[in-house]
Amino acid sequence: MSVTAAQGFEAAGVAVGLKSTGANDVAVVVNRGPKKVGAAVFTSNRAKANPIIWSQQAISDGIVEAVVLNSGGANCFTGSFGFQTTHQTAEKAAELLGAGAGDVIVCSTGLIGTGDEVFRAKVLDGVAKGIAELSTAGGEAASLAIMTTDSRPKTAAITRDGWTVGGMAKGAGMLAPGLATMLVVVTTDADLTAAEADTALRAATRVSFDRLDSDGCMSTNDQVTLLASGASGIRPEGDAFAQALADVCRDLAEQLQGDAEGASHDIAIEVVGAASEEDAVVVGRSVARNNLFKAAIFGNDPNWGRVLAAIGTTDAAFDPYDVDVSFNGVRVCTAGGPDRPREEVDLTPRRTHILIDLRVGDAAATILTNDLTHDYVHENSAYSS
């Protein structure tokens, strides 16, 4: 499991005091090759943290030798001092690994606006300690080091014909499209070119992390990085790698959903009968972001009126008076009017399925979201994050 499941990778997770609990807070993942192929996608938020600004440059040549990740501070809106911290982090890792600083990706997560001298000293300390502890069994420790409000680490791995894809993720809040408050590193020993890695990563994130919309809030620090070592010596056939990568990313996205802050329901909003996949995504997202719908699910109320009111705000192709809506298999709304009585719907299970049939085409998409609960309000009002 995790980022050391594939051949050619070492990792470590260490504690340097960024977390007041004393838990692991700096992770290092290193690609030992023989190839050092990398690809990455970043938050589409225009408010980008310093590690995002750095890593967007570092990834441009398609070569990545190491990823350094820290929790306990986002290093976002911390000015030129903060950018220098990221730069020094990459330089220190490069020096200790005998690599170039431009081949080191940096990821940070935590409170926006914090990243002072103490933060910098601890992160640099973590780079040294982490590189000293690198091992092919370090994947689990690394997955612990990137946790913030996560209640558990998230890892996944798939092995196909002689090659493996494995990854780790963190994220429990500020989960929204354009990438959620999350850091993800996926490794593979498949033999890929940089272009192949980039294409497969963009395709995989489009149908996994980009369809997770827990609370509509887009982070400043999100990043998904793919490292390919080629250590298996195997070039996957056809789209086998793209499929395996998408499976790992979907698995990690569902783990993020399942651990979302304060949530009591994991809701899959499946939109079918759409004129286009884009329309299906827009419609699903409008429901996922509707606080009244989200509160109704928390209250175990199959309130289909709130679903129709939400999708009515979009410009997707459909007739509001010819839409069907089902909650957990019970069709409560047919052609924009009442159907089965709401008493027939059981919304007590955590896993919740909403089916929306727009009845205009053949396209479909599923958006993953969570309900709006007292615990969500509590976790996001009682603590800064």
The yes or no reply on residue 333 touching a copy of itself (CB under 8 A) is: yes
What is the smallest separation between the CB atom of 68 and a copy of itself, expressed in angstroms? 22
DSSP string for 262-299: T-S-EEEEEEEEESSHHHHHHHHHHHHT-HHHHHHHHT
CA–CA distance, 353 with 303 (Å, rounded to integer): 13
Residue closer to a copy of itself by CB (options 216, 361) is: 216
Integer angstrom CA distances of residue 162 from 5, 45, 212? 12, 38, 31
- Tell me the three state secondary structure of residue 251: helix
Question: Which residue in the set 310, 330, 358, 365 belongs to the binding site for a copy of itself (CB under 8 A)?
Answer: 310
- Of 32-40, 106-114, 128-136, 240-248: span binding a copy of itself (CB under 8 A): 106-114
Question: Which residue in the set 320, 329, 341, 349 belongs to the binding site for a copy of itself (CB under 8 A)?
Answer: 320
Residue 369 marked in a binding site: no
CA–CA distance, 272 with 30 (Å, rounded to integer): 42
What is the smallest separation between the CB atom of 199 and a copy of itself, expressed in angstroms? 26
Annotated active-site residue in 181, 187, 205, 225: 181
The yes or no reply on residue 376 touching a copy of itself (CB under 8 A) is: yes
Phi, psi values for residue 241, rounded to 5°: -70, -45
The yes or no reply on residue 349 touching a copy of itself (CB under 8 A) is: no
Q: Residue 199 is inside which H or E element, if any?
A: helix 194-206
Question: Which residue in the set 40, 90, 274, 372 belongs to the binding site for a copy of itself (CB under 8 A)?
Answer: 372
Question: Which residue in the set 121, 132, 137, 292 belongs to the binding site for a copy of itself (CB under 8 A)?
Answer: 292
What is the smallest separation between the CB atom of 304 and a copy of itself, expressed in angstroms? 7
The yes or no reply on residue 74 touching a copy of itself (CB under 8 A) is: yes
Phi, psi values for residue 291, rounded to 5°: -60, -35
Residue closer to a copy of itself by CB (options 187, 214) is: 214
Question: DSSP label at 238?
Answer: T
Residue 51: closest CA among 222, 178, 228: 222
CA–CA distance, 14 with 134 (Å, rounded to integer): 10
Question: Which residue in the set 140, 150, 191, 215 belongs to the binding site for a copy of itself (CB under 8 A)?
Answer: 215
Are 372 and 329 in contact by the 8 Å Cβ rule? The answer is no
The yes or no reply on residue 168 touching a copy of itself (CB under 8 A) is: no
Q: Hey, which residues does 367 pair with through a beta bridge?
A: 269
Residue 199 marked in a binding site: no
Residue closer to a copy of itself by CB (options 106, 296) is: 296
The yes or no reply on residue 76 touching a copy of itself (CB under 8 A) is: yes
Residues 18-37 close enough to bind a copy of itself by CB under 8 A: none
Question: DSSP label at 320?
Answer: G
The yes or no reply on residue 291 touching a copy of itself (CB under 8 A) is: yes
- Tell me the three state secondary structure of residue 174: coil
Question: Which residue in the set 37, 99, 296, 354 belongs to the binding site for a copy of itself (CB under 8 A)?
Answer: 296
The yes or no reply on residue 48 touching a copy of itself (CB under 8 A) is: yes
Q: Is 181 a catalytic residue?
A: yes
What is the smallest separation between the CB atom of 241 and a copy of itself, expressed in angstroms? 32
Residue closer to a copy of itself by CB (options 60, 291) is: 291
Are 207 and 242 in contact by the 8 Å Cβ rule? The answer is no
CA–CA distance, 164 with 189 (Å, rounded to integer): 6
Pairing of strands 164-170, 183-188: antiparallel
CA–CA distance, 12 with 297 (Å, rounded to integer): 40
Residue 170 marked in a binding site: yes
Residue closer to a copy of itself by CB (options 9, 298) is: 298
Q: Hey, which residues does 274 pair with through a beta bridge?
A: 363
CA–CA distance, 42 with 216 (Å, rounded to integer): 17
Task: Output the known binding site for substrate.
Answer: 148, 170, 181, 261, 380, 385
Give the residue numbers annotated as catalytic, written as ranges. Answer: 181
Kindly list the residues in this chain that would bind a copy of itself in the complex (CB under 8 A): 44-48, 74, 76-79, 111-113, 173-174, 178, 215-220, 289-292, 295-296, 298-299, 301, 303-306, 308-314, 320-321, 333, 336-338, 372-374, 376-378, 380-385
